[in-house]
Amino acid sequence: GQNIDQPTEMTATEGAIVQINCTYQTSGFNGLFWYQQHAGEAPTFLSYNVLDGLEEKGRFSSFLSRSKGYSYLLLKELQMKDSASYLCAVRPYSGGYQKVTFGIGTKLQVIP
Amino acid sequence: DGGITQSPKYLFRKEGQNVTLSCEQNLNHDAMYWYRQDPGQGLRLIYYSQIVNDFQKGDIAEGYSVSREKKESFPLTVTSAQKNPTAFYLCASTNLGGGSGQPQHFGDGTRLSIL
C-alpha cells in the first residue's frame, strides 16, 4: 500500500523560514511532488524531486532522501500569501497514467 | 490561455438524483483524473484516463461513473449510489510524454452538496 505522512498544521512568522516534512512508504518510487493549495482553490505545482538532494526555486526549496523515504519543503522569507496547504504527492510507479498518491496536506498559517 | 475548466463551481444534489460534473482541458494532455477532497483527508483518486475511450477505476470509484469520448473532456457523474457525495471535486490532467516529472494541472474544482 501507499502511506504518506505530513504534519496537519504549522504556524510561522512573516519573514521567517519554515520546513514542512513529508515521509512516505510506498510500494515503489518514481518521483515526489509538492503542491500549494489556497483554501477553496486548485492545487498548483511547486516542485519535483526524483533524485536525492536539494532542488531550489526562488524562495522555495525541496529536498529528497530516497533511502529514508523523506522529503521536506523549505519556504524562506515567508510572506502572508504563503498561508496555504502544502501537499506532498508520491508517484509510486513508472509507466503510463502518471498516477500519484497525495498526503493529507499541511496547513501553514503565516502570522505577522 | 491553456488550462482546465470545471463547471459548475457549486452544485446541489437531491436525493436519488444523478449529477454530472464537467471537466474540459485545452492543454492537449493525454491523461485526465478525478479526485475527491474532504476535510482532513488528502486527495483521493476516483477515476483516471490515459486515452480516449479508456478509463480506469481509482481508489474510490463506487458510486461514480465517467466517460472519455473526446481527448479534451472527462465528465464525472455522481450517481444516487454514492451515499456521501458532499465534497470538493477536482479534475486534473497531465502530459504522459516528457518524462516522469510532469506535474498534474488542476481545475478550480466543483463543490457538491446535498439538498
Q: Which residues pair with B65 in a beta bridge?
A: B77
Percent above pLDDT 90 for chain B = 77
CB-based contact (8 Å) between A86 and chain B? no
Compute the average pLDDT of residues B29-33: 94
Compute the average pLDDT of residues A74-83: 98
Say if the Cβ atoms of B109 and A40 lie within 8 Å: yes
* Residues of B with Cβ-Cβ distance to A97 under 8 angstroms: 31, 48, 50, 56, 96
What mean pLDDT value characterizes chain A? 93
Compute the average pLDDT of residues A10-17: 98
Grid cell at residue B41: 483527508
Predicted confidence at residue A30, as pLDDT, reads 87
Predicted confidence at residue A99, as pLDDT, reads 81
Is the backbone of residue B16 left (phi > 0), alpha (psi -120 to 50) or beta?
left
Compute the average pLDDT of residues B61-76: 97
Q: H/E element holding A83?
A: none
Predicted confidence at residue B102, as pLDDT, reads 85
Q: What is the pLDDT of residues A36-59, one digit of tens each?
A: 999 989 999 999 999 999 999 999
Instruction: Say which amino acid occupies B1.
Output: D
Q: Give Cβ neighbours of residue B91 (< 8 Å, ≥ 6 apart).
A: B4, B6, B21, B23, B25, B32, B33, B34, B35, B74, B76, B106, B107, B109
Site of grid cell 505545482? A45
State yes or no: pLDDT of B62 exceeds 80.
yes
C-alpha B27/C-alpha A67 separation (Å) is 35
C-alpha B74/C-alpha B25 separation (Å) is 9
pLDDT band at A96 (very low <50, low <70, confident <90, very high): low
Predicted confidence at residue B45, as pLDDT, reads 94
